[in-house]
Amino acid sequence: MLANALQGVRVIDLSRILAGPWCTQNLADLGADVLKIERPVQGDDTRGWGPPFATAGSGEKVAAYFLSCNRGKQSVTADFADAADRDWLLRQVRDADVLVENYKVGTLAKYGLDYASLAAINPGLIYLSVTGFGQSGPFAHKPGYDYIFQGMGGLMSYTGIADGEPGAGPLRTGVAVVDLMTGMYATSAVLAALVQRARTGRGQHLDIALLDVAVAMNANQASNYLVSGESPARIGNTHPNLAPYEVFACADGHVILAIGNDTQFVAFCRLMGADWHLQPDFATNAGRLTHLKRLRPLLREKLAAWRVEALGRALDEHGISWGNVNDMEQVFAHPQVRHRQMLQTVDHPQLGTLRLVRNPMVPAGRDAPVTPPPVLGPAARPRTHQPVNQET
């Protein structure tokens, strides 16, 4: 079972916000023992990123944002500026397999918690640094959040309403996709480093940057530019390489129509009672892309007369890919989502019943129990003073 794949692997999680915690949550879901080290008093920044909040019997509030990316971890608070706390953390590192951090470049070196210092006491340590711009380069010292990199990395340049259309302008995605993709790349890098360490016995420093990920995740859009020399423009809900492939209004809602090849387009035309596939300008995907401004009004007129449910049945019968635009309530009520058990319920000792989303890497079932995210944990050691918050 993948839920036990990393059993026995110890992870020290010094990361906050989303990219780093998304990685360490993946590792926890795969069976690793993850110790999340948080700042005293306020903990991870996202504990306060609400509403909405889940509230413990003690009155402690935990933001839903934090709950989304810290499943399966144990929380302990420590102050890096405190020598005793720092010594305690170093003892944890001696037996750790992985350490994940997302502090600004150079911050942890001030406390002797940088890779060079920790590798000296644990040569097998896999040390993952997640930063905005990476460990080197002219921007390495700068901080940054996901939103910044959606813009800097190019994603927002072609995401949004096309110029000349109402509401024209760039848009970010509705979720922090650069953070999430960074967390996934980081997870893959850690798993690869664990495999490599099994062969060599040595750990290493992994340098994962949000800007690097933002550039990489442009995928076909980046390739389109590199081949053509032309930067892709904002095209709303259309696709840069396929047509028709966008959202259309029906009589009672919207559908996403996804025509992936010319054969599907022929089937679609027959369903619509149209002969567009016989017209040279529309017979091929390349032609439909070139002449999309003429094709789109024809599609809109036909589809506007259909009701969503009837259209969906007809598209299914003709083997044409389509989908609804669901809100969250509809998502978790969807029969396939329910069948796949993507919604999981877990009893939290302080927060009561929590509803969480299953990690799609880990099959649902009794062999993959869900461990809830922690409330802010106890201090690493008893204190008689007010802690000094470490630099972030």
Q: Give tens-digit pLDDT for 75-119.
A: 999 999 999 999 999 999 999 999 999 999 999 999 999 999 999
> What is the helix (H) or strand (E) element at residue 83, kind and residue range?
helix 83-94
Do 352 and 315 share a structural domain?
no
The pTM score is 0.93
CA atoms of 391 and 110, how far apart (whole Å)? 10
Residue 178 confidence (pLDDT) above 60? yes
Cβ partners under 8 Å of residue 191, min gap 6: none
**What is the CA 239 to chain-centroid distance, rounded?**
22
Residue 128 confidence (pLDDT) above 70? yes
* Residue range 13-38, pLDDT digits in tens: 999 999 999 999 999 999 999 999 99
* Residue range 189-220, pLDDT digits in tens: 999 999 999 999 999 999 999 999 999 999 99
Mean pLDDT of 311-326: 96
Q: How many domains does the chain have?
A: 2
52 lies in some domain: yes
Do 304 and 268 share a structural domain?
yes
User: Crossing angle for the helix pair 308-317 and 262-272, nearest 10 degrees?
Assistant: 130
Residue 384 confidence (pLDDT) above 70? no
CA atoms of 178 and 148, how far apart (whole Å)? 10
Report the pLDDT value the prediction gives residue 389, as an integer from 0 to 100. Answer: 47
Which residues pair with residue 11 across a beta bridge? 34, 98
Give residue 313's domain range.
Answer: 245-326
For this structure, is 97 an active site residue? Answer: no
Percent of the chain with pLDDT over 90: 91
Do 301 and 206 share a structural domain?
no
1 lies in some domain: no
* Residue range 227-253, pLDDT digits in tens: 999 999 999 999 999 999 999 999 999
Do 41 and 140 share a structural domain?
yes
371 lies in some domain: no
Do 67 and 213 share a structural domain?
yes
CA atoms of 73 and 16, how far apart (whole Å)? 13
391 lies in some domain: no
Do 213 and 89 share a structural domain?
yes
φ, ψ at 315 (rounded to 5°): -65, -40
CATH number at residue 272: 3.30.1540.10
Do 171 and 92 share a structural domain?
yes
Q: E strands along the chain, which residues? A: 10-14, 33-38, 53-55, 61-63, 73-77, 98-101, 126-131, 160-161, 169-170, 204-209, 245-250, 253-258, 321-324, 343-348, 352-357
φ/ψ region of 31 (left if φ > 0, alpha if ψ in -120 to 50, else beta) reads left
As given in the structure block, the two tokens for residue 1 are 């079972």
Do 192 and 84 share a structural domain?
yes
Peptide bond connecting 52 to the previous residue in cis, omega within 30 degrees of 0: yes
Do 137 and 74 share a structural domain?
yes
CATH number at residue 165: 3.40.50.10540
Do 94 and 123 share a structural domain?
yes
297 lies in some domain: yes
2 lies in some domain: no
Report the pLDDT value the prediction gives residue 91, as an integer from 0 to 100. Answer: 97
Q: Select which of 44, 82, 85, 179 is catalytic.
A: 179
CA atoms of 87 and 360, how far apart (whole Å)? 38
225 lies in some domain: no
As given in the structure block, the two tokens for residue 56 are 């413990």
Residue 172 confidence (pLDDT) above 70? yes
228 lies in some domain: no
Do 44 and 179 share a structural domain?
yes
Mean pLDDT of 307-320: 96
Report the pLDDT value the prediction gives residue 249, as an integer from 0 to 100. Answer: 97
φ, ψ at 178 (rounded to 5°): -70, -45
Report the pLDDT value the prediction gives residue 370, as an integer from 0 to 100. Answer: 83
Do 162 and 54 share a structural domain?
yes
